[in-house]
Structure 1
Amino acid sequence: MTRTLHVRIDSSSDRSDLEDTLAALDAGETDEVEPKPSTLSVEDLETFGRIFRPTNLELLEAIADHEPESIRELARLVDRHPPEVTQNVNELADYGLIELEQNGRAKRPTIWYDEIDVDIPLGHHSPDVAPA
């Protein structure tokens, strides 16, 4: 079964659905029931572009493909300096895109989803305004 993270641009930026899913995963509650789709709302297109820049997507793919035991191992996998990767990983964790599990003295980056589905609205459409 594919687990999907839905991402949308939404100025209201409510992350409660995502946080509920992460809490259920932490408690081990998602094995018995099919997880509901989780949505991450990003404030604006600029923030979306920063979060999903190519270097961060490369990190997400490396985590999914190799399941590194630490941020240092992740840095080796993507051939980047650990301090830069740590900064990117912390940003991704702040948005709930990855979790950092304590693994001895290291932190192990993990993801709970298999794919990301993105909804980007083009323009600001209001139902009360007719097109010109």
Structure 2
Amino acid sequence: MKLKDIEIVVMSDEEYGEHLNQLFEKVRRSEIHEPEAHKIVARTAEDIGKILTRERLRLLQIIREKRPESISELARMLKRKESNVHNDLTFLEGIGLLELKKGKNHVKKVPVVDYDALHITVPLTA
């Protein structure tokens, strides 16, 4: 089973600002040689549920299992409006949970989920 490791971290605005400052400093000093684990930052624990909604998880599952060849086809499979599906796809692509690749005719976008499961780490300590 191919897993996609995702770390979800709850950080205040101040903590997130400090995190970015440290990251930029590492880049400036050329200290980053390997990509960091994929990380999603949430402001509160409740925000995690807003990021990975039931519909977004269902969308990822359908893409993985059925391999739709367009956003329109995916919307029909999900019985949802294409504009709403497109919004969720754009969001999930932005946080690295799927890819939108060019289709055979280079016009349609094909959603791709290339893993079987999400492995999510939520730290319980600060």
TM norm structure 1: 0.68
Structure with the larger RCO, 1 or 2 (CA within 8 Å, 6+ apart): 2
C-alpha distance in structure 2 between counterparts of 1:62 and 1:9, whole Å? 23
SS of aligned partner of 2:110: strand
* Structure-1 residue corresponding to 2:4: 5
Q: Does 1:108 align with 2:110?
A: yes
How many residues align structurally?
Answer: 101
The answer (yes or no) to whether the contact 1:63–1:110 under 8 Å persists in 2 is: yes
* Structure-2 residue corresponding to 1:80: 80
User: 1:66-118: CA deviations, max 9, x gaps?
Assistant: 00000111111111000000000000000111101111221000012111111
Which ranges in structure 1 are unaligned for 5 or more consecutive residues?
A: 15-19, 21-37, 125-132
Which structure shows the bigger proportion of residues in helix conformation? Answer: 2
Q: Which residue of 40, 43, 52 corresponds with 2:41?
A: 43
Letter in 1 for 2:5: H
Letter in 2 for 1:9: I
Q: CA RMSD in A?
A: 2.1
Letter in 2 for 1:119: T
* Structure-1 residue corresponding to 2:58: 58
C-alpha distance in structure 2 between counterparts of 1:107 and 1:88, whole Å? 14
Aligned-pair identity (%)? 29
